[in-house]
Each structure stands twice: as C-alpha cells, then as structure tokens.
Structure 1
Amino acid sequence: MSAALPPGTAAPWQPAGTVYGVLLNFEHEHTLWRPRMLEAPYQAPPQAPVLYIKTANTWNPDGGQVTVPADAPGVEAGATLGLVRDAQGQWAAALLNDFSLPHDSYFRPPVKYRCRDGFLGTPAALRPLGSLAELATLSLSVHVNGELRQSVDLGRLRRDAATLWADVNDFMTLRPGDVLMLGCDVAADGGRPLLRPGDTVELSAPGFAPLRHHLSAEEARA
C-alpha cells in the first residue's frame, strides 16, 4: 500500500489512457538511420508514424527511482513531450522521460528494452496549451548530475505536434486521456544520454516544472 499524501497535497498526474511513443520523428535521427531503412525487409522509409506503447507498469512519478539491470551498460534518457487532449478538446502537454535500454532496432524495438518497470518518468502536473503551435519553439534540456548532456530542439521534428496528431488519427483514433509522445532526439552517434547507478537525471523546459529521477542498481538475486 502506498503512503498517504500530506493533507492538501494533490496526487501526481498519471496518464488516463494509453501512452504512445513515436520513432524517427527528428530530422537527425531519421537521416542517421535512413540507410538501414532501405535494407530488407522494408527497403523504404516508413510512410506513417512508427509507434510503440509504454505500458502502465512503466509510469514513474517525478522523484522516483529507475533501476539499471545488472546485465545492461546503463539506461538511456529520452527527453520528450507528450500531447494530451481531454473530452472537451482542450490541449495539454506533459514533460516525460522515455527511458530505454540501449538497443539496435528502430522499427520493432523489443518490449523488454522500453517497457521495464519504471521506464516512463511522469510529471506532477500537465501544462495547459492554447494550441499545439506553442511547442514549436521549445527546447528540452537533459542534465545528469547537474551537467548539461543534451538539448532537444522541438523545431527539428519531422512532423510537428499538430501534424503528428493528425497523421496518427488517420489510421487509429486517439481517445481523450491518451498520450502521444513527440519522439526522442539522438546525438551524433545515434545514442542518447547514458545513465548509470548513482546518477540523477533532470529534464527541464520553459514553462514546465523540472522532472527528476534517480538511477539505482538492480538488486542481486538470491
């Protein structure tokens, strides 16, 4: 049973629906991996957004712990924003950390790399939006132990927030409460900030409260 919240403290936000991630939605990421898109079995770049799901066991509120498996070199940070639309059509955004284990598959990443317990850092609250156009000028910062390790420019999305939402809804219906993440950019080598036990990672963006998580080592099995 979880501990009771102090009087007057609001419960942290959690997704009310399904959380969808998207791959290859940054210009650099797409360019870097384009040669592999031309290989079998696909032999062409994807025409529609490439989606995956972050299951409910991954949700990890601000200030939580993320476990690094003993057989993994570390955990990658994935700074992103999630779009949320309510039943009244109002937009909001969530600052999210889409943690994953390093892997070498972009089209069909195995669930075990992305859906481990605690592998989606979620904020205490959403930020209401007047329109999705507000997001185009935002930059997300990733600090590890206080050091800036990555800046993510949302102006370099292949599909901006409004286009991505529309293109996904062309083939499936996003319901009120569902979360659609915009994607996670990569460094020049194709990787993302690698986190190890003992690290603290903080995401920040203008208008959003910082999102922090601490990395710990997996306990040895008896």
Structure 2
Amino acid sequence: MSELKPIIMDGNVFGIALNYKCLYEKLQTSFNEKPYVNEPKKPVLFIKTPNTRNVSGQPVVKQKLAILQPGPSLGIVIGKSTTRVSKSEAAAHIAGYVVVNEWSLPEESYYRPAIKAKCQDGFCVVGTPVAADQVTDLNNLALRVFVNGELKQEGSTANWIRTPEQIIEEISEYMPLNEGDIILTGTPYGRVAVEADDEVRIEIDQLGSVTNTVQEEGN
C-alpha cells in the first residue's frame, strides 16, 4: 500500500472577513453608510504574515493595554495550485482542513482589516491538518472557544456565507493559490477579550483543538 501524501501547510495564510451571517448581519446597516455606502460584493481578504505563525502549546503575547481577542476559524489547506478554478472543481484542490486560532485586536474596519490588528507575532495558531476525505458534513461543524475551561463563544459552519468551494472559485479568479496555502474561512460573531495568564482553547468538530496561554508583554 502506498503512503499517504503529507499535507503541506508552509505557504501563505489568507483570511476571509465577514464570512459568517451572524457577524455580517450585525454590521450590515453600517455598510450602507459612509464611508462604505455599499455592501461588499466579493470576499474581503486579509493576510496573516509569516511572523504570526504559531502552534498549540506556545504562548501568545498580549501587549500592555491592548485588547486581545481569540478567533475560531476553519482553515482550508490547498493541495495543488489553483488558477480560475470553478466551484464544481474546487474540492479537488483541497488537501484538508485545520483548526486555527486567528488572534486579533478589535477591528475598526472590516473592509480594510488592519495589519496592526491581524499581524502581530504569534497571532495565527495552526493545528494539525485533517485530510479532506476524513471530514464529513463540513457545512455543519461547531466551533467553540474556551477560556480557562469555560465556554465563551460558539458558532457553526452552517452559518457560512461562502463555502470553501465558493471561496476558492472567487479568489482564484484574480490570484493563484498554491500548495501549502491556507485560507481562513472567517470567525463567527462574538469574539471575547482575554487577559494575561488566561488559557484559551479553540475546538472545531472533527478537526481537534489548539490551546495557548496568554502572556503579557515583558514577562
């Protein structure tokens, strides 16, 4: 029997903002006011730069006076290069899925996610990938945030605006995706603030969990 091909996750990490109906609906009125005037028609992208990469068990540093918020997100792991891939063909380009804690400071603009809010050291905790064919009922998985063992936030991929296949189709219209890239499918409404010494665990059904302790800057 041939060995299974390992899932590579060493590429770029892109995030999709506003991909949960619960969050979008909370902000929908403001999108029709200045300075936006119109609601977004395409996925709103942001990037998690290489310095944000982190793993379960490692600390996440909170700057003094900063408001630090964990964010449960399901990551799509790209298995082969994509350019202008249709939704019907997109699944063949997915190697697997992974639980991610997409840490952030509070966002002032969802149209233009701030580098300062998204790209600080250790702000993207990536778990162990699970092969795509091992995940069932992808569009109905629960996401949970526990702080010191207490459930603080919960959501479901049933609340997605765009499925992974739709996301890949729309992004690959104008930008290639390569093997090893990860696309974060958004964070549901209800981010909570955490403090130094808090233990934060993110769980997603079938994908496992990641756990990190918040460490105050300078300690």
Tell me the TM-score normalized by structure 1.
0.85
**Unmatched 5+ residue regions in structure 1?**
1-12
Task: Tell me the equivalent position of 1:86.
Answer: 79
- Judging changes above 3 Å, is the alpha-carbon distance between structure 1 residues 204 and 132 closer, same or farther for their aligned structure 2 residues? closer
Once residues 19 and 37 of structure 1 are traced to their aligned partners in structure 2, the CA distance between those partners, rounded to angstroms, is 26
Where do 5+ consecutive residues of structure 2 fail to align? 1-6, 81-91
- Give the structure 2 partner of residue 28 of structure 1: 22
Percent sequence identity over aligned pairs? 29
SS of equivalent residue, structure 1 residue 172: coil
Given the alignment of the two structures, is residue 208 of structure 1 paired with residue 207 of structure 2, yes or no? yes
Choose the corresponding residue for 1:60, options 38, 54, 58. Answer: 54
Aligned length: 202
Equivalent residues of 2:8, 2:180 under 8 A apart: no
> Cα gap change, 1:208/1:111 in structure 2, threshold over 3 Å: closer, same or farther?
same
Q: CA deviation at 1:40?
A: 2.7
Q: Which moved more, 1:95-104 or 1:81-90?
A: 81-90
| 1:1-222 correspondence to structure 2 within 5 Å | 15-72=9-66, 74-87=67-80, 89-123=93-127, 125-130=128-133, 134-187=137-190, 192-219=191-218
Distance in 2 between residues matched to 1:210 and 1:99, nearest whole Å: 15
- The superposition leaves residues 29-82 of structure 1 with CA deviations (integer Å, 9 ceiling, x where unpaired) of 11111122112333111111000000000011111101111021x311110011
Q: 1:89 to 1:104 in 2, by over 3 A?
A: closer
SS of the equivalent of 1:63 reads coil
Q: Is the 8 A contact 2:78 2:93 kept in 1?
A: yes
Question: Corresponding residue for 1:4?
Answer: none
